[in-house]
Amino acid sequence: IVSRDWSSDVCSSDLVLVEAWFVGDRDRRVPVTGPGTPDVPSALAQVFTLALRPWLGKCADALQERRELDAWRHAYCPLCGSEPGLAVVAPDGRTFLMCARCTLRWPHDSDACPFCENANASLMSSFGAPDGAYRVNVCDACRRYLKGMDVRRAGRPPMPLVDAAEIGRAHV
């Protein structure tokens, strides 16, 4: 078996881009030339997410049953640090946030905004599909929203990429 040191092939600016993507630093920009060239950082972020999702998903599966997750009450994933992409109401009625990057789920107080922790009901809105399976929860305090799914009404487990698209098409 031939072994090769790949570190000489990796440019330090490449490592900076990967690190910036992982920690969520959206302010980094890569010089782009030519008219009509796509936004390189967002394109790279998509590539990184798709490339690492299977590995991060396996890590999430391994950590999912850990009791320590029950105590996690932050607006970011305890595994990869990404924001939630979906709120899921489980069959037992508890609400979980699902990471947009690795699909790890952690408990959430469904009455509060996961981003700013606003719990003032007058500043929260919720728009649901007629069947009640999908909804969009909106916070007027931080002006953000989170798509949601009720597993009890959908009749199946969440599929993050499918459900995010489905909620975008739902008549809410």
Question: Does residue 31 carry a pLDDT above 60?
Answer: no
Place of tokens 């993050």: 160
3-class state of residue 68 by DSSP: helix
Tell me what the pLDDT averaged over the chain comes to: 76
pLDDT digit string, tens, across residues 121-141 = 999 998 988 888 888 999 999
pLDDT of residue 11: 60
- Among 165, 129, 132, 135, CA closest to 148: 135
Q: What are the φ and ψ backbone dihedral angles of 150, each rounded to 5 degrees?
A: -105, 105
pLDDT for position 50: 81
- pLDDT class of 69 with cuts at 50, 70, 90: confident
The band of 48, judged by pLDDT with boundaries at 50, 70 and 90, is confident
